Amino acid sequence: MRGFLIQQNAIKKRVQNEKKGKILEKIKDGEKKLRSKPKSNEILREIKLYQTQYMELMNQEIEWKIKQMRQRTFESADKCGKLLAWQIKKRQKLNTVTNLEVEGKNIFNPIEIRNCFQRYFRQLYTQGPQKEMDIEQFLVKNGLKQISQESKRILNQEITGQEIEGAIQSMALGKSLGPDGLTSKYYKVLKEWIIQPLKEVCNEIMEGKRAPDTWKEAYITLIPKIETEKTQLKNYRPISLLNVDYKIFADILAKRLKKVLMEEIHGDQAGFLPRRHLSDNVRNIIDILEKLEVNINTKAVMIFVDAEKAFDNISWSFMMKNLRGMGVGQGFENGIGAIYSEQKAKLIVNNVITEEFNIEKGTRQGCPISPLLFISVLEVLLNMIRRDQLVKGVQVGAKQYKLRAFADDLVLTLQEPEASTKRVLELIQEFGQVAGFKLNKLKTKVLEKNLTSFEKERFQNVTGLTVVKKVKYLGINMTAKNVNLFRDNYEKTWTEVKKDLEIWSNLKLSLLGRIAVIKMNVLPRMLFLFQTLQILDKMDCFKKWQKDISKFVWQGKKPRIKFKILTDAKERGGFALPDFKSYYEAAAFCWLKDWLLLENTDILDLEGLTMYLGGMHTCGMTRLKPIRVLKIILLGKHYLMSG
C-alpha cells in the first residue's frame, strides 16, 4: 500500500509539473507574438489567461505546503526535535562580521573585511623556515617510544569495505557541505556503488600514490569565540568544511590510531580517547586544591596554559617525523602524508567565498584525525615536563602531580612555583621552536595556593604570568578555594536557567511541550555539572529547582499532578519529567566507580586510598578482603555525598 501511494503521488506531481511547463511555454510564445504585435489585445488576453492558470497551480502548491507545515507543527511542536529546539533557542545575531579593528583602525567595508581575514589566515598558515636537522635531533632526545608490532600491523593493514561502510554509516546528516557539494546522505544512499572504488583509492594512497586533488581543498568558516571581542581577527576559530570522501578516509585512519594511542598516551591526557573523560581532569584539580587547602605550608601554583592557535600552528614536518619515530609504518605514514601536504583553502566571510590560498601547517579543525595527531605531538612536550627533575609537581605521598591535559587545555600543578615555572617555560619554548607550539602569556592564567602577597608579586614579575582569583577550565569556574565551586557553577547555571524559563513561559506550549523543553535544554546543562562536579553536600537545592521547574511546567498555577507521577516512566503512567536528584545520584556512581575498581591510582591516592588501606598499595579488587572492599565503598560514598 505504501509503495502504491508513493507511486500515485509521484505520478500526480509529474502531471502537475508537465502542466506547469506547458503553460509556461504558451506564455513564452505569447510574449514572442506580443513583441511583433505589441498592440494586439487578443494576445494580451491570451497571456493573462495563461498567467491566471499558472497562478492557480502555484496557489494549489502553496496551500498544500501550508497544510504540510501545519501538520508538522501539530505533530512536532511539543516533541523533542528541531522545531521545539528552534523555538527555545536564544536569538543570536547572525554570524556576520560588520566591523574589524586592525592596527588601531576600524574597518567597515565588506570587501576590506574579507581581505583582512584572508591576509591574516594566509600569514597564519604560512610555514616559516625550518631546520629539519634540529627537529630530528630534538626527537632523538625527546621523541615518543616506538609502538608494538601488533599496533603497527593495525595501522598498516589493507583498508576493507567494512571499514568504509562503517565510516559512511557513522557520518552525521545535515552537516555543512565541503567544496564538492556532496552530502553524507549521498554516500549513504549510494554506498553499494561507492564502497569498491573508494576502497581502491584509499589503498592506493596507503601504497604511496597521490590523494585526489579534491581532498586537498577546503572551505574555512569562521566561528567567533565565546566571550571575546569580535572585532579582533585572532578571536575567530577556523573550522574546515571538507569533502565527505576525504572524511571517510581520515575517519578510518583515526579509528586505527585511536586504538594505538590508548597505550601510548599517558593517562593525564584526557581528550579524544576512549574511557577518558573531561571530568577526570576537573576531579584531579579539585582534589589537589583540597590537599593544598589542608597542607597550608605547601606553596603551589596552578597554571592554566593558553596556546596561541594551538591546532593551526603545529609543524607538519615535526608531526610526520614524530610519527616516523613512533614507528607507525610506511603505509600509515603515506596516508597521513597524502592528506597533510599541498593543502589549499578558501575562507567563507559573510557568506562570500574568498580567493584560494595555500596551507602549510596546522591540523585541520573539522578533520576526524586532527585531534589525535595533535595530542600525539603534544605528548612529546608533556613527556619532557613529566621527566624533568627541575619541575616539581604537587607532592602527595610518593607521587608528584604535574599536569593534566584535554586537547590544548593544559593545566600545570607545581610546587616550588618560581623555579618550576621558569623551567616549564623554558621547556615550552624549546618545544615550540621545532613543533610550532606558541604560549600566549597574556591569556595564560595562574591560581596560587598558600603564597604570600610578596611571593605572588615576585612570581608574576619573574615569570610574566598573571595570577587571578578565578579561571574557567573546561566549562567549570574555578577559584583557589573549593568552597566557591557551588556558588560559581551550580548557582550561576541555575540563575541562567531561571531566566530562560521565564522567557519560555511566553511560548504557547502544552504540558508535554514544557516537559520536553526541560529534557532538551535544562537537563543537559545540569547533567554536565552532575557528572563533573560531585560536590553537593546538601539536598536542599533540589527542592528549590523542583519548585522552579514545577512553576514553569504548570505556568505558575497550582500543580494538578503529583511531582512523583510527573517524573515516573511513561510505561507506568508517568510523564518522564527529569528528576534531577536521581540524575545526580546516578552520576555519583561514575565517581564511585574508581573506588570500586581500584584501578585509577592517581585519583585514589589523591583521595586517600592508601590511608584507608593502611599503606597497602593495590591495583585490583581481587587482592582485598571483602570487609576491606565494603569499607572502601562506604568511605567512597561518604566522600561523594559530603563533597
How many other C-beta atoms lie within 10 A of the C-beta of residue 546? 17
Residue 29 belongs to domain spanning: 17-76
Distance CA(187)–CA(198), nearest Å, equals 11
Which residues, listed in sequence order, are joined to residue 399 by a DSSP beta bridge?
Answer: 396
Instruction: Look at residue 460 and tell me if it is in a domain.
Output: no
Instruction: Look at residue 276 and tell me if it is in a domain.
Output: no
Residue ending a domain, among 28, 55, 76, is: 76
Residue 620: pLDDT above 60?
no
pLDDT of residue 547: 92
- 564 and 617 both lie in a single domain: yes
- 501 and 635 both lie in a single domain: yes
**Average pLDDT value for the chain:** 86
Residue 467: pLDDT above 90?
yes
317 contacts: CB under 8 Å, gap ≥ 6: 130, 132, 135
List, for residues 553-611, the tens digit of each pLDDT value.
998 888 888 888 888 988 888 888 999 988 998 888 887 777 777 777 777 778 776 55
pLDDT of residue 119: 92
- 166 and 33 both lie in a single domain: no
- 162 and 45 both lie in a single domain: no
C-alpha cell at 413: 600543578
Instruction: Look at residue 454 and tell me if it is in a domain.
Output: no
The label of the residue with cell 589525535 reads: 372
C-alpha cell at 544: 528549590
Strand 219-224 relative to strand 236-241: parallel, antiparallel, unpaired?
antiparallel
Q: What is the mean pLDDT of residues 194-215?
A: 93
Cβ–Cβ < 8 Å for 332, 285: no
C-alpha cell at 356: 584560494
pLDDT of residue 628: 46
pLDDT above 70: percentage of residues in the chain: 90
- 31 and 122 both lie in a single domain: no
Instruction: Look at residue 392 and tell me if it is in a domain.
Output: no
- The kind and range of the H/E element at 106 are strand 105-107
Helices 523-532 and 278-294, interaxial angle, to 10°? 50
- 161 and 41 both lie in a single domain: no
Cβ–Cβ < 8 Å for 249, 264: no
Instruction: Look at residue 619 and tell me if it is in a domain.
Output: yes
- 104: alpha, beta or left? (left if phi > 0; alpha if psi -120 to 50): left
Residue 88: pLDDT above 70?
no
pLDDT of residue 613: 53
C-alpha cell at 590: 561514575
Instruction: Look at residue 579 and tell me if it is in a domain.
Output: yes
- 261 and 121 both lie in a single domain: yes
DSSP state for residue 340 in the 8-state scheme: S
Tell me the residue type at 251: D
Q: ∠ at Cα 609 (606, 611), nearest 5°? A: 100
Distance CA(117)–CA(348), nearest Å, equals 10
- 111 and 71 both lie in a single domain: no
Domain count of the fold of the chain = 3
| Four-CA torsion 11, 16, 17, 22, nearest 10 degrees | 130
The label of the residue with cell 621527566 reads: 387
Instruction: Look at residue 239 and tell me if it is in a domain.
Output: yes
- The kind and range of the H/E element at 447 are strand 445-449
Instruction: Look at residue 47 and tell me if it is in a domain.
Output: yes
Distance CA(497)–CA(489), nearest Å, equals 12
Burial 476-492 (b: 16+ CB within 10 A, else e): bebbbebeebbeebbee
Three-state secondary structure call for residue 212: coil
pLDDT of residue 621: 35
pLDDT of residue 80: 61
The label of the residue with cell 610506511 reads: 330
